[in-house]
């Protein structure tokens, strides 16, 4: 049975969310779900015309949201990503030699290293071993979920969880989509945020189905089953 991923404790930001919200109590946590987003047909556009997060649209670069290094949640995640990176096949990891030479961490060891304008793990378009995240590709090769191989900030995107103290004790966890404001200063100037505009909402399934594995990993099986039932997705 899947249990909630509660390792991250993001404090609420000033970003707006759509709502309305569906609330599900789980012990000392009340989960609040943005049902507008979960019912939407948002779909990741990486490799399908994603404009990227640079100041100008650059779909030809294939960066997606990887123009910045991925920040680690804690030291345990940093060690895990470093260990997994060391196992990658050079034929599937474009920057394998650079990783062996200088490692995969940034200078502070709080995130992945940036190479030529993007995360070291990002294979660029045209790479013989396949474009995209080398960790993601390795997970697929191993027939394992990419979320078991990638930093949480990567596999959870565009889902964001804001944690806040509840009145009378416990916590409130608001599950919503990332917004431009959540990117901090980078969000002010980036050309596109992948949850805004019609281009992002072209999927053939609602988010509660297309990101079912990610949602279940975040909130746990019991809460996710309740959520699906309340959104009318039983047996879907």
Query: What digits encode the pLDDT tens for the residues 93-128?
Result: 999 999 999 999 999 999 999 999 999 999 999 999
Any idea what DSSP says for residue 70? P
Does residue 98 sit within a domain?
A: yes
Q: Is residue 16 part of a domain?
A: no
Contact 149, 138 (CB under 8 A): yes
Please answer whether residues 152 and 71 qualify as being in contact, where contact means their C-beta atoms are separated by less than 8 angstroms.
no
Residue 65: inside a domain = yes
pLDDT digits (tens, 9 = 90+) for 140-194: 999 999 999 999 999 999 999 999 999 989 999 999 999 999 988 889 999 899 9
Last residue of a domain, one of 86, 111, 145: 145
| 89 closest CA partner among 163, 14, 140, 147 | 140
Residues 173, 103: one domain? no
Please answer whether residues 214 and 147 qualify as being in contact, where contact means their C-beta atoms are separated by less than 8 angstroms: yes
Domain identity same for 214 and 187: yes
Structure-token pair, residue 173: 């966890």
**Is the per-residue pLDDT at 6 higher than 60?**
no
Considering 110, 145, 180, which residue would you say is the last residue of a domain? 145
Its domain, for residue 86, covers 61-145
Number of domains into which the chain is organized: 2
Within-domain flag for 114: yes
In a domain? residue 198: yes
Last residue in a domain, options 145, 172, 191: 145
pTM of the model: 0.87
């Amino acid at each position: 049975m899947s249990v909630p991923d509660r390792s991250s404790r993001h404090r609420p930001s000033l970003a707006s969310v759509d709502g309305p919200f569906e609330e599900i109590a789980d012990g000392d946590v009340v989960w609040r779900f943005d049902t507008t987003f979960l019912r939407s047909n948002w779909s990741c556009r990486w490799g399908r015309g994603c404009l990227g997060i640079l100041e100008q649209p650059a779909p030809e670069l294939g960066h997606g949201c990887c123009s910045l290094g991925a920040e680690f949640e804690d030291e345990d995640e940093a060690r895990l990503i470093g260990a997994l990176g060391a196992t990658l096949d050079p034929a599937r990891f474009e920057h394998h030699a650079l990783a062996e030479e200088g490692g995969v961490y940034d200078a502070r060891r709080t995130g992945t290293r940036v190479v030529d304008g993007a995360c070291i793990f990002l294979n660029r378009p045209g790479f013989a071993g396949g474009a995209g995240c080398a960790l993601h590709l390795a997970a697929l090769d191993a027939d394992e979920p990419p979320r078991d191989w990638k930093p949480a900030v990567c596999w959870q995107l565009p889902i964001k969880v804001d944690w806040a103290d509840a009145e009378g004790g416990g916590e409130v966890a608001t599950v919503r989509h990332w917004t431009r404001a959540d990117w901090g200063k980078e969000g002010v100037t980036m050309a596109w945020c992948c949850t805004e505009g019609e281009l992002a909402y072209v999927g053939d399934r609602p988010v509660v189905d297309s990101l079912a594995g990610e949602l279940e990993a975040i909130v746990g099986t019991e809460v996710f089953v309740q959520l699906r039932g309340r959104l009318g997705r039983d047996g879907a």
